[in-house]
Amino acid sequence: MSFGFYFEGFFRELIQDVFRFTTSDKIQFVGKNISIFSDRTFEYFLGFALMIFLLSNLNLKWNLIFKNTILCLLIFGISIFVISAIDANLKIIECTACENGIRKLHWNGINYGLIIGTSAIISIIPSLIRIIKRTKKASVQHRL
């Protein structure tokens, strides 16, 4: 959870940049960029994802842990980009009264918690698969 708290500002700026980039600057942010009482849901999801990742990598060799870390971070980054791009383009599509096709969006008009939380859950799917396989294997060996 502290990881999520520490990197909140970085993730917010990253998502805002993806919103601008994927819509060719057709989204303009308005208002003040303040997040005093932001949604802390993504901190819980990041904490949960980190816990699952650590559990899946217990007793593995360092090179496998490194490979799994790179895979998890890669999936996380791609998920943030894809989910943000889809959300940004949907916001452009749903705008019927936009001047010159430019959507003005408040800085807090993005659901950062949903984007980061969903990306965290998607990124740990390989770890969950490893845990399930390990549990099934132990269950079969225990029965024998």
Output the tens digit of pLDDT for each of the chain's 144 residues: 666 667 778 888 999 999 999 999 889 888 877 665 556 777 788 888 889 999 999 888 999 999 999 999 999 999 999 999 999 999 988 887 777 778 888 888 888 888 988 999 999 999 999 999 988 888 877 776
Q: What pLDDT does residue 144 have?
A: 62
- If one counts the domains in the chain, the total is 1
Q: Where are the beta strands (DSSP E) in 71-140?
A: 103-106
Q: What pLDDT does residue 79 have?
A: 97
Distance CA 22, CA 19 (A): 6
Q: What pLDDT does residue 38 have?
A: 58
* Beta bridge mates, 103: 27
Can you list the pairs that 38-41 forms with residues at least 24 positions away whose Cβ atoms lie under 8 Å? Answer: 38/8, 38/108, 38/112, 38/113, 39/111, 39/112, 39/113, 40/4, 40/5, 40/113, 41/113, 41/114, 41/117
Calculate the dihedral angle through the C-alpha atoms of 83, 84, 88, 90, rounding to the nearest 10 degrees.
10
pTM for this one?
0.85
* Beta bridge mates, 30: 106
For residue 91, give its domain range.
2-143
